[in-house]
């Protein structure tokens, strides 16, 4: 392996690890379920992406079998499954809104259920006047259930 690709692999691994770490910090620091969901989705896209890229470069250079393409398949499956799991988690959270503070008592009031319903009330204005506006009731959420293929 030449020094250039060695350095490239090292940089990619460090950058990837950094983003996975940031995703974990986000998961730990953010105040409530829906904002916490953003942490792990980040880690998979860029963090794992760069680590896989480093792996592909490393094994393409060292293995005798030539190019290493497995990583692309991993990336592909990660990219098509990560949004679905995030989507289902978020949907489950909307269906089952816990009272404020139940999940994480130490969290601030940033996005307690009250403020979310307030969001929903103002939402009609933002979207340019939707016909029916209200807090996301369970029935409405299941209305679009056909979207996950």
Residues contributing to the site for another protein (CB under 8 A): 19, 22, 25-26, 29-31, 34-35, 37-39, 41-42, 45-46, 49, 65-70, 72-73, 76, 79-80, 82-84, 86-87, 90-91, 94, 108, 110-111, 116, 119-120, 123, 126-128, 130-132, 136, 140-141, 143-144, 146-149
- Cβ-Cβ contacts under 8 Å for 100 (sequence gap 6 or more): 109, 112, 113, 114
Provide the minimum distance between the beta carbon of 99 and another protein in the complex, in angstroms, as a whole number. 18
C-beta closer to another protein: residue 54 or 91: 91
Angstrom distances, CA of residue 42 to CA of 18, 69, 88, 105, 138: 11, 23, 16, 25, 27
Considering beta carbons, is residue 3 or 149 the nearer one to another protein?
149
> Closest by alpha carbon to 1, among 64, 80, 50, 44?
64
Which residues are CB-contacts of 112 (< 8 A; sequence separation ≥ 6)? 32, 100, 101
Q: How many helices (H) and strands (E) does the chain have?
A: 7, 0
CB of 56 to another protein, least distance (A): 10
**Please, what is the minimum distance in Å from the beta carbon of residue 96 to another protein?**
13
Q: Judged by CB, which is closer to another protein: 102, or 131?
A: 131
5 or 45: CB nearest another protein = 45
């Amino acid at each position: 392996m030449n020094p250039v690709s060695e350095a490239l692999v090292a940089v990619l691994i460090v950058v990837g690890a950094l983003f996975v770490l940031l995703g974990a910090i986000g998961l730990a620091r953010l105040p409530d379920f829906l904002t916490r969901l953003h942490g792990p989705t980040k880690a998979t896209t860029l963090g794992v992406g760069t680590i896989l890229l480093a792996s592909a470069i490393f094994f393409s250079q060292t293995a005798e079998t030539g190019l290493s393409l497995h990583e692309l398949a991993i990336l592909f499956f990660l990219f098509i499954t990560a949004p679905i799991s995030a989507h289902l988690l978020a949907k489950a959270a909307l269906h089952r809104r816990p009272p404020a503070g139940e999940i994480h008592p130490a969290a601030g009031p940033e996005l307690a259920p009250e403020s979310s319903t307030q969001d929903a009330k103002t939402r009609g204005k933002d979207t340019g006047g939707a016909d029916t506006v209200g807090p996301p009731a369970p029935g409405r959420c299941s209305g679009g259930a056909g979207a996950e293929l």
